Copies of this chain bind each other. A is one copy, B any other.
Amino acid sequence: MKKKYYCSLHFTMDLIGNKWKPLVLFHLLNGPLRSGVLQKTIPGISNKMFTQTVRELERDNLVSRKVYPVVPPKVEYQLTETGKSLEAILKELDNWGKNLMS
């Protein structure tokens, strides 16, 4: 570990504490998605931010990236086991928002 964390929540926030990562992970809960499909499930995310977000999630071993050697390219993203371990939390966050919005 490069950085020192004063508590484990701090570590968690460094991994998924931004706006887009939980959304990307959430949309992968039902199984792998092609890059383009995943991106379209998240209106408002720019091309650049999408790529950057999945790159970081891949680096942190929360999603895996599978490239099919075809043309035009086909790339699929799916949750790793670590990513899947966030399932309950992601659904609770979604539900919490649902209750609060209504």
Contact = CB atoms under 8 A, between A and B. Distances in A.
B97 A9 contact: yes
Interface of A: 1, 5-15, 17-19, 22-23, 26, 42-44, 82, 85-86, 88-90, 92-101
A62 to B, nearest CB: 10
B19 A14 contact: yes
Given A9-B97, A17-B19, 4 more contacts: A8-B101, A13-B19, A89-B92, A89-B93
A81 to B, nearest CB: 11
Nearest to A1: B101
A29 to B, nearest CB: 11
Nearest to A92: B89
B92 A8 contact: no
